[in-house]
Amino acid sequence: MNRRTLLTGLAAATAITAQQRKEWKPRLGVLGPFTAANVQFSKDEGFTNMILDGGSVTEDKLDAIRKSGMHFSALQCAQNHFTAADNDKFVQKIELAGKLGIPYVGTCSGKDETKRFQQQIDDIVRVYTEKYFKACEANKVRILWEPWAGGPNIATGPVGFEALFKAFGDSPYVGLQYDPSHLVWQMMDPIQCARDFIDKIYDVHLKDTQIRWDVLKKTGINPPNRASWWTFRLPGLGQMDWAAFFSVLQQAGYQGAMSIEHEDPFYGSPNRPGPDFSDDFKTGLKMAHRYLKQYIPD
């Protein structure tokens, strides 16, 4: 092979790589209840996705949701899964998602603190297999776990993720709805965790966490006076390294949705009067949108 042949081959390979490399343009959205006003605000602000609060989605609203012209990546249904009532309620949400063509239902894994960790894993696999997977298959819906440690959940980080995915094997019906803010306040590494489980991430919450180190160093993680040492914030106002996080998603070719979950107490949350977004709440979403535009192209 002469020099000219080598250079020609390298140029051809570079061209092929350039053609295969797509612009990173995931859908950017917001999480909230379905109302006509919330959808219109989201459109006007330039968002292209919503995660819908599952409690706001009922049979009588299906036609309005379909006609809204908004893309919906998931229904949000934080609940436990260990009673018949829980199971029936969740199957209904899977069916509603299927009727709307929504591919994911975000939830907690389920939790029973009276049992040992492995027994809880076994019970979760049994319940999902017996109660949910038939509905998932029929409705083309996948169940995603959000790593919220405040709920009935053991899918709160790498230990729970690894145990659950190992137990479920190659099931196409479970995955992650990744929210890095929950790992930040649990003192985990949200960047490495995203890297380790990138093939299981199908939907993303964009929320930040501010750690009050001045309080934490004085009170510890269990303050006797219940002092608040961490607070959910809008993206960019906490400790999260967003550039590193988005680099992980971009390099992996993640093309799913990423939606702002606004729980910042300084901008109208959690006391949103709702269901329509309040003016303060909208201001927070607009601020977050401006911040995120530096990483995510419109």
Q: E-assigned strands of the chain?
A: 27-32, 49-53, 72-76, 104-107, 142-145, 174-178, 201-206, 208-211, 230-233, 257-260
Give the pLDDT score at 12.
46
Q: Shortest CA distance to 95 belongs to which of 127, 131, 48? A: 131
The pLDDT, as a whole number, for residue 21 is 62
- The per-residue pLDDT for 280 is 93
What's the pLDDT at 5? 47
Domains (ranges, CATH) in the chain?
Answer: 25-292 (3.20.20.150)
* pTM score: 0.92
If we measure between CA atoms, which residue out of 223, 288, 220 comes closest to residue 258? Answer: 288
Tell me the pairing of strands 49-53 and 72-76. parallel
pLDDT of 271:
65
Smallest Cα–Cα separation from 128: which of 151, 147, 97, 105?
A: 105
Instruction: Report the alpha-carbon distance of residue 145 to residue 133 in Å, rounded.
Output: 15
Termini Cα distance of the chain: 45
Q: What is the pLDDT of residue 274?
A: 80
- How high is the pLDDT of residue 98? 98
Of 52, 54, 107, residue with least CA distance to 81: 107
The pLDDT of residue 297 is 81
Cis peptide preceding 235, ω within 30 of 0: no
**Would you tell me the crossing angle of helices 117-127 and 158-168 to the nearest 10 degrees?**
50
pLDDT of the chain along its 298 residues, tens only? 544 444 445 544 444 444 456 788 899 999 999 999 999 999 999 999 999 999 999 999 999 999 999 999 999 999 999 999 999 999 999 999 999 999 999 999 999 999 999 999 999 999 999 999 999 999 999 999 999 999 999 999 999 999 999 999 999 999 999 999 999 999 999 999 999 999 999 999 999 999 999 999 999 999 999 999 999 999 999 999 999 999 999 999 999 999 999 999 999 887 666 899 999 999 999 999 999 999 998 7
- pLDDT attached to residue 269: 82
In a 10 Å sphere around its CB, with 0-12 CB exposed, 13-18 middle and 19+ buried, how is residue 138 labelled? exposed
**Amino acid of residue 121:** I
Secondary structure of 236-273 as H, E, C letters: CCCCCCHHHHHHHHHHCCCCCEEEECCCCHHHCCCCCC
At 74, which amino acid appears? Answer: A
